[in-house]
Amino acid sequence: MSDLLAARSQMAMSLGFHIVFALVGIGMPLLMVVAEWRWVATRDAIYLELAQRWARGTAILFAVGAVSGTVLSFELGLLWPGFMRFAGPIIGMPFSLEGFAFFTEAIFLGVYLYGWDRIPPRAHLAAGALVAVSGVASGIFVVIANAWMNTPTGFALVRGAATQVDPLAAMGNPAAPTQALHVTLAAYAATGLAVAGIHAFLLRRDPGNAFHRRALVIALAVGGPAAVLQPVAGDLAAQEVARDQPVKLAAMEAVFHTERGAPLVLGGWLDVDARTTRHAIRVPAGLALLAFHDPRAIVQGLDATPREDWPNVAAVHWSFQLMVALGCYMAIVALWAGWVTRPRRPRAGGPDRLDALVRHRRLLAAIALTTPMGFVATEAGWMATELGRQPWVIYGVLRTRDAVTPMPGLIVPFTVFTLLYCFLGVIVMFLLYHHILRSPHVSEGGGRRGIEGTAP
């Protein structure tokens, strides 16, 4: 393994590990705040227990996310000094703002965790809301920096050096709004449907458990709308990619030849050497319509770019296809759940909306299947975004090979950090599994009957 590949692999491992905790850091605080808000409104003790348990889960995941995020910040400087030397003065502002948002989140999470019965209920709820808001802000600032790498703005390039730097213009780069929206919705969809999936699975075994019922409703309320809106956000992001990163779009959609009214390619077997996708389903003019809202638009293919400037077409294409497939499944399941629980005229002796959901075993099974899908889809989407930018670390400005450290032997830290992340992953799973086993079994209209069940 070359040092460049080792450095890229270490960064990929670190980002792939950290992004899960970043998503949870955005989504889980909203779940706990909604649960506490329901407790304040109803004084139902189950909502209080949900809020407290989700808060403890948030604390565990936040701690590991803080560690992995700190490692990433060091890796940027140690592995990619060429990138930091060029980009630091331009995108230092969003990184600084992200640090401010992170510390705000940490402070108010501490207030939330240790403020039960110590501060007024509404002040405690406000602290939780600030955790949720600062978590979103932290994620958005990081995404803005990444979006700048895809569509660099806010400077003039003179003899390879950045001049006339405008940090605000850099933060307002063309990819920032769509990427920030896409990632934020992904966080809510992934976290909400993961929690919903766990409780849906347990409700199939114990339909009367009030704890799981309330948790399922809250989780679907957070994850369902985000999953439905995600295809819309994805369409907006794809239009930006088509406009500003045509090579990435060509790799994502396996467009080898520039053509007017390019079809949408679904499935099939990608043959990069032959520059075709065999046995695929082709929707006539589908890609041109989606990317440019014009069925006769010209879609630039990979043939317009020198071969040495192509990304890994197979990895980008299959990552993108996986993300789209999982995202569509999640949206369909969310719409299905919304249809089953839609408001309807009450019927004497008939089930209410929640009962209709709990009794629908096929729907519960479909929700349970979504448990890992949001995180897998996000990892796949992140791969498509990052690999699709290669061989550039800053698109069209700085190549990845020119940004890496000249230090040899990078396979050693890559191996060490891979083992470290595996160890941390096992510890986190143990803690969360222990947390899941200790949730109460409570029936609707009844009391606590023992200790079993689940709550992430």
DSSP string computed for 80-95: -HHHHHHHHHHHHHHH
Beta strand spans in 119-275 (E): 156-158, 161-163, 259-260, 264-266, 269-271
What CA–CA distance (Å, rounded) separates 130 from 100?
13
Region 23-39: what's the mean pLDDT?
A: 93
Show Cβ contacts of residue 56 under 8 Å, excluding neighbours closer than 6 positions.
113, 435
H/E run at residue 202: helix 176-205
Contacts of 172 (CB under 8 A, 6+ apart): 153, 154
pLDDT for 169 beyond 50: yes
* Residue entry with tokens 């690999």: 387
Using the predicted structure, report yes or no on whether residue 78 has a pLDDT greater than 80: yes
What's the pLDDT score for residue 347?
58
81-114 vs 45-79: helix crossing angle, rounded to 10: 160
* 450: confidence class by pLDDT, cuts 50, 70, 90: very low
| Closest by Cα among 18, 32, 98, 31 to 61 | 18
Between residues 433 and 187, the one the model is more confident about = 187
Residue written as tokens 């290669």? 390
- Reading the block at residue 423, the tokens are 């160890």
Q: pLDDT over 90 for what percent of the chain?
A: 49
More confident residue, 148 or 69: 148
Pairing type for strands 161-163 and 156-158 reads: antiparallel
pLDDT higher than 60, residue 448: no
Q: What is the mean pLDDT of residues 294-304?
A: 90
Predicted confidence (pLDDT) per residue in 347-374, tens digit: 544 456 777 788 888 999 999 999 999 9
Share of the chain above pLDDT 70, in %: 93
DSSP 262: P
Helix extents (H) in 43-80: 45-79
Query: What is the rounded CA–CA span in Å between residue 384 and residue 327?
Result: 14
**Range among 63-72, 150-159, 182-191, 338-347 rated most confident:** 182-191
pLDDT, tens digit, 9 for 90 and up, residues 214-247:
999 999 999 999 999 999 999 999 999 999 999 9
Beta-carbon-side half-sphere exposure of residue 438 (alpha carbons within 13 Å): 13
pLDDT at 32: 93
Which H or E element spans position 331? helix 313-340
Q: How far is CA 86 from the centre of its chain?
A: 28
pLDDT digits (tens, 9 = 90+) for 397-409: 999 999 998 888 8
In the predicted model, what is the mean pLDDT of residues 80-109? 90
**Which residue in the block uniquely carries the two structure tokens 């950090």?**
417
Q: Which two tokens stand for residue 153?
A: 């703005």
Q: Which H or E run contains 300?
A: none
Higher pLDDT, 207 or 226: 226
CB 188 within 8 A of CB 223: yes
Confidence (pTM): 0.90
Give the pLDDT confidence score for residue 444 in this predicted structure: 52
> 13: which residues sit within 8 A by CB, 6+ positions away?
414, 417, 418, 421
The predicted model gives 315-336 an average pLDDT of 94
Mean pLDDT estimate for the chain: 87
The DSSP 8-state label assigned to residue 209 in this structure reads B
d(CA 192, CA 186): 10
| pLDDT given for residue 342 in this prediction | 79
User: Whole-angstrom Cα distance, residue 158 to residue 137?
Assistant: 33
